[in-house]
Chain A
């Protein structure tokens, strides 16, 4: 199983893997040399940035909080102090609060009670990318990324959940975005090549057909890992 980020008690994203169909893989390979490496590195970068932002956001608050006489100098331990703070709320908890406040404000002020407010509707927003990902069929010929899942530590997951509602939804958005980027860049790059090729009289009229014809060309090149410039 692929693991990223800091060590510790782990959670597994996509325990049954993440499928991409051949068309999607062609698009991805146009812009990233190794899809799993890119996705793992992107998630790792997000974890590190969010952890840094979380620590920065809470630093001043903790330093001026009279309840704390000392703070751990270790990043992991400091994150745990933040997550244990009574005022800390994950992004999901913030969304629920927002939703409750919105609905509460609509009720009759003479009869409304905050304790009655339990209904929340954040799922439709937070799983927008997953719904989009699931709307595409991926059956025969699909490639399974991370076949046994992608492991991140619970602490890293908490750092992400401080800012995003659903980690898998975020990953779905990332991969859909890169598929789109690869498709557009490939077409933008090769359409002029095809149109100036005297041996080509007709172009496919669908995106998948066009992508297929481009990747079959002898002059087509996928993304490659650039050698390091020695200087």
Chain B
């Protein structure tokens, strides 16, 4: 007895895969078939831009490479060299030459434009008047006070030019106050300052959001408040504040 083997003819022609990628599964209409060892082209050879730390993905279904994030989630715009965070429109900008600027980073300079007469000398505590703003990047300065917009470490610096003291003037103490500590950063205990003298200081303070920070001067030893705080069109008496960390 002999067995005759007759090959079964292919009923369907195998073709090149032609799937359409989408966001949900759907039945197609073609009556052709593909082989189980076909190659499906879902990658190209473009090297992805470097964003963060490289890592292997884990999602079964991922967004397409040309997807766009909503504004609320932040944005790294490599076209304009700008990192914009949390729905904002400004952020960290990097120039073509590599300079980094932060247009909304809290940073302000204000000065006293007119001399304030007889404000201390006999123990009066006077909040120094800084009535002219040179710049105020994030709108944090007003009414002689810098108000911290976020919690962080802020650098405060100042110079106070004063006059009117006599030989009786004993001491001039400047405090940066309103934050969480009274920071005495400068004390003038020298001889009679005569017509003019100055005091400078700088300190980094841990501020909470909405801490209001002012510069306070107390002069002592005079029989009355005869000390004047100098001011003018040049920044003789000035106050700087900057978020540093």
- Which A residues fall within an 8 A CB radius of B? 42, 45-46, 49-50, 53, 91, 94-95, 98, 102-103, 106, 121, 124-125, 128-129, 132, 163-164, 170, 173-174, 176-178, 180-181, 183-185, 188, 226-229, 231
**A-B residue pairs, 10 tightest by C-beta:** A177-B147, A173-B212, A174-B210, A184-B139, A180-B142, A163-B180, A229-B73, A229-B72, A46-B208, A181-B139
B181 at the interface (CB under 8 A from A): yes
Chosen A-B contacts, 18 in total, with CB atoms closer than 8 Å, are A50-B208, A102-B218, A106-B220, A129-B145, A163-B181, A164-B180, A170-B210, A173-B145, A173-B178, A176-B142, A177-B147, A178-B210, A180-B140, A180-B141, A184-B136, A184-B142, A185-B139, A229-B70
- Which B residues fall within an 8 A CB radius of A? 69-70, 72-73, 87, 123-125, 127, 136, 138-143, 145, 147, 149, 151, 170-171, 173, 175, 177-178, 180-182, 184, 206, 208-212, 214, 216, 218, 220-221
Q: What are the residues of chain A within 8 A of B211 when measuring CB–CB?
A: 46, 170, 173
**How far apart are A35's CB and chain B's nearest CB, in angstroms?**
13
Asked if A181 meets B143 with Cβ closer than 8 Å, knowing A128-B214, A163-B180, the reply is: no
Q: What are the residues of chain B within 8 A of A227 when measuring CB–CB?
A: 72
Instruction: Check A45–B139 contact: CB distance below 8 A.
Output: no
* Secondary structure dominating the interface of A: helix
Closest residue of chain B to A179 (Cβ to Cβ) is B142
**How far apart are B115's CB and chain A's nearest CB, in angstroms?**
21
When chains A and B are docked, how far (Å) is the Cα of A124 from the Cα of B216?
10
Instruction: Check B182–A176 contact: CB distance below 8 A.
Output: no
When chains A and B are docked, how far (Å) is the Cα of A121 from the Cα of B124?
8
When chains A and B are docked, how far (Å) is the Cα of A137 from the Cα of B43?
67
Closest residue of chain A to B221 (Cβ to Cβ) is A106
When chains A and B are docked, how far (Å) is the Cα of A106 from the Cα of B138?
42
Partner of A188, one of B139, B142, B145, B209: B139
**How far apart are B119's CB and chain A's nearest CB, in angstroms?**
12
**How far apart are B136's CB and chain A's nearest CB, in angstroms?**
7
Closest residue of chain B to A177 (Cβ to Cβ) is B147
Q: What are the residues of chain B within 8 A of A173 when measuring CB–CB?
A: 145, 147, 178, 210-212
Q: What are the residues of chain A within 8 A of B180 when measuring CB–CB?
A: 50, 53, 163-164
Closest residue of chain B to A119 (Cβ to Cβ) is B123
When chains A and B are docked, how far (Å) is the Cα of A29 from the Cα of B142?
18
Q: What are the residues of chain B within 8 A of A98 when measuring CB–CB?
A: 182, 184
Q: What are the residues of chain A within 8 A of B220 when measuring CB–CB?
A: 102-103, 106
Q: What are the residues of chain A within 8 A of B124 when measuring CB–CB?
A: 124
Instruction: Check B72–A124 contact: CB distance below 8 A.
Output: no
Instruction: Check B208–A177 contact: CB distance below 8 A.
Output: no
Partner of B177, one of A125, A178, A184: A125
Partner of A95, one of B127, B136, B182: B182
Closest residue of chain A to B180 (Cβ to Cβ) is A163
Most buried by B among A129, A183, A227: A129
